[in-house]
Structure 1
Amino acid sequence: MAEKELNQILFIGEKMVPVQPGQTILEASLAAGIPHYHACGGKAQCSTCRVLVTEGAENLSEPNVREKLAQSRIKFPNEVRLACQTQVIGQPVKLHRIIRDETDRCLYINDASGEDMLQAIGEEKKLTLFFLDIRDFTPFMQAHLPFDVIHIMRRLFRIFSNAITSHQGRIIETAGDGLYAVFGLETSLRNAVQAAVNAGNQIFRDLEVFNQTYLQHYFNYYLQVGIGLHVGRVILGNIGIGVNNNLSVMGFPVNVAARLQNATKELNNNFVISAKAFQLLKNQPQETICTNINLKGVKEAFAVYLIGQPFRKPATLEANILAAE
């Protein structure tokens, strides 16, 4: 009895590849020596092995549960398949590897491994999101020389950075007189929430020392910050822009944290934390205020805890502004 002829795949621009019974496209291509990238190890946890089928889609197996889940999340078209989950059941089949040249590789491959590699290809993770803004800094800028403004900013951001990094946080972005940081890249969410609160409280303490011993002494001015804190599942990855291939963290929980920071003004409290984050705290502050607020993009009233202190009265700030001028 003649042996059944093996099905074959034409990898366009590369080679014709025989497929053994039961092999996936990825397994067949690797066996044929094609450097087919598969960051997750062929477990449908990424989409880097995806291929574009130009002919013979009907000769491929139907998407399995893993591939359907990936398709629903990534929204790629029907002619794009995950090579690690797809088998060849007939011929002809012609396809392209989507990640195949050096430019493609540079978008996804770096010298790191482990969590850094996951961040390079993009992942979802529950993180603690930390937004900080300096209050009433514009009048200070208007009243002082550029050198003094930048000098004070450098002093302030050193305070912020030291507190955040010493509690295993990571600053994601700075913009003007504010910053955005995350906690939980290398620890549990519960530990991350506590670390973020501890970092915020350290900032308040260190900023007060800076005000009393330096800023008021040399500039007759007093600065305050507002902090908003939330937790949630976000998307993170290295977008490949900037000298350090900056990590980007995105998602609706990020927007919520930013809006909580902004709400510190109307709530007259320098530390506002979502109820969801507060419930995860190991050491919950005893003196807190729980209230509901309206947040843009959130249909229902949003529960928050005020765990900080009221801001200094505007009259006191105004006196400092006039003195600085």
Structure 2
Amino acid sequence: MTHHVNFKGEKAVPVEERQTILQASLAAGIPHYHACGGKGQCTTCRVLVLEGQEKLTPPTVLEQAIKKVKKFPDNVRLACQSRVNGEGVAVQRLIRDEIDRFIFVDDTEDSFTTVMGESRKLALFFIDIRDFTPFVERSLPFDVIHIMRRIFALFKNAITQYDGEIIDTAGDGLYAVFGLNSRIKQAANSAVLAGLKILSDLRIFNNTYMRPYFNHTFEVGIGVHVGKVVVGNVGIGLSHNLTVMGFPVNIAARLQAATKELNNSFVISAVAYRLLKNPPYSVGCNYLNLKGVSTPYEVRLIGKPYEIKDTPVLPETRQV
């Protein structure tokens, strides 16, 4: 009996009863990589199963061994070991040229999932230092870098203590995620605990170090949101930093930006707040008009007002 497999972006090919997906694709003229000759001894013929995973034969012993070592997710199969038992199968070749081959085979990336990307529910955490420009303007370059290192070490300590991962730094702020190793409720709680620890540690740092030695204090703005994002690794830097993208990331960044206008150091979306096991006291419930969001966004204020208020009090609904 003949079935068909749809290769995304390429074409649908017929697969005979005894043919593997690799044999069928090669017969149809698709330049399918198969470094070991289709013997299940490499991973270059792997495909991502988009539809009809249940219509494929179970993984062979050879495939199971490779999947265990490489930690492939269940929807990644070796085309040379997979046969088709019905219609409705759609796949995507993961290696289609020499650059793909480097990314998926020659690169030293430990986690295959981060290379190919996956959808995850995470807690998104943005923090930015307030009043840093005046300190930069009147301080020596060495002092600026020294203090930045001290503050960022403080941030990192709190974030890693609660199993967070720093994704990016920009200027005097950074972006982290929680939930790579936990469920979303725990992730939201961890993000809030990390934020509260930062606020507490920064207060101590101001009182014991910044004020007596530099006659200056710092405040921060923190924004937290939760949502489904894409997690992967674009692999363009020496550090091969993890990348997390999606609309919820934009929401979290805008909540952090709104802290100054709301005159509160910690703003969390109501969606994330409702996931908290022991939610901290919220001094208020506000609604923000966020760019790209059709209705006002509900947020909770769980930080403290800034010492210096340089913006007027805004009406309940604000544009961010």
Specify the TM-score bucket, using the shorter chain as the normaliser: 0.7 to 0.9
**Distance in 1, Cα, partners of 2:23 & 2:122:** 35
* Counterpart code for 1:231: V
Local SS of the residue matching 2:258: helix
Residues 237, 130 of structure 1: CA spacing in aligned structure 2 closer, same or farther, 3 A cutoff? same
Q: Which amino acid aligns with 1:135?
A: R
Give runs of aligned pairs for residues 284-295 of structure 1, distance below 5 A: 284-295=279-290
Residues 286 and 300, structure 2, Cα contact 8 Å, conserved in 1 = yes
Match of 2:235 among 231, 235, 240: 240
Q: Paired residue for 1:37?
A: 45
Q: Give the superposition deviation at 1:48.
A: 9.0
State which of 237, 262, 267 in structure 1 corresponds to 2:262: 267
Whole-angstrom CA distance in 2 between matches of 1:252 and 1:63: 35
| 2:306 matched residue in structure 1 | 311
Q: Distance in 2 between matches of 1:242 and 1:157?
A: 21
Task: Indicate how the Cα distance of structure 1 residues 117 and 291 shifts in structure 2: closer, same or farther if over 3 A, else same.
Answer: same
In structure 2, the residue matched to 1:90 is: none
The equivalent of 1:76 in structure 2 is: none
Report the 3-state secondary structure (helix = DSSP H, G, I; strand = E; otherwise coil) of the residue aligned with 2:190.
Answer: helix
Q: Please say which of residues 174-183 and 23-32 is displaced more in the overlay.
A: 23-32
Of 126, 137, 148 in structure 2, the residue corresponding to residue 131 of structure 1 is 126
The residue type equivalent to 1:237 in the other structure is G
- Larger Rg: 1 or 2? 1
Q: Measure, in 1, the Cα distance between the counterparts of 2:199 and 2:271.
A: 23
2:151 paired with 1:156: yes
For residues 19 and 271 of structure 1, the distance between their equivalents in structure 2, rounded to whole angstroms, comes to 57
Q: What's 2:169 paired with?
A: 174
Give the Å deviation of 1:270.
0.4
Q: Is the 8 A contact 2:164 2:178 kept in 1?
A: yes
Alignment match of 1:104 (pick from 100, 104, 116): 100
Which of 272, 278, 282 aligns to 1:277? It is 272
Query: In terms of mean alpha carbon deviation, does 33-42 or 194-203 score higher?
Result: 33-42
Per-residue deviation at 1:99? 1.4
Matched, 1:218 2:203: no
Q: CA 1:269/1:48 → structure 2, altered by over 3 Å: closer, same or farther?
A: farther
Q: Which of 22, 25, 35 is equivalent to 1:26?
A: 22
Q: Following the alignment from structure 1 to structure 2, what is the Cα–Cα distance between the partners of residues 254 and 21?
A: 46
Cα pair 1:48 1:99 within 8 Å, conserved: no
Counterparts of 2:306 and 2:115, CA distance in 1: 40
Structure 1 CA distance, aligned partners of 2:23 and 2:303? 56
Per the normalisation by structure 2, the TM-score is: 0.73
Assess if the C-alpha contact under 8 Å between 2:128 and 2:221 holds in 1: yes
Structure 2: runs of 5 or more not aligned: 4-13, 27-33, 55-73, 311-320
Q: Within 2, Cα distance between the matches of 1:242 and 1:48?
A: 29
SS in 1 for 2:294: coil
Q: Could you list the per-position Cα deviations for residues 96-147 of structure 1 after superposition, in whole angstroms to 9, with x for gaps in the alignment?
A: x67155532222345556xx32111111101000000000101110111111
Q: Please give the TM-score of this superposition, normalised by the length of structure 1.
A: 0.72
Q: Tell me by how many angstroms 1:33 deviates.
A: 3.5
Structure 1's 152 and 39: CA in aligned 2 closer, same or farther, altered over 3 A?
farther
Task: Please say if residues 232 and 243 of structure 2, whose CA atoms lie closer than 8 Å, have aligned partners that are also in contact.
Answer: yes
How far 1:314 sits from its partner (Å)? 4.2
Once residues 23 and 207 of structure 2 are traced to their aligned partners in structure 1, the CA distance between those partners, rounded to angstroms, is: 66
* 8 Å Cα contact 2:47-2:94 kept in structure 1: no
RMSD: 3.2
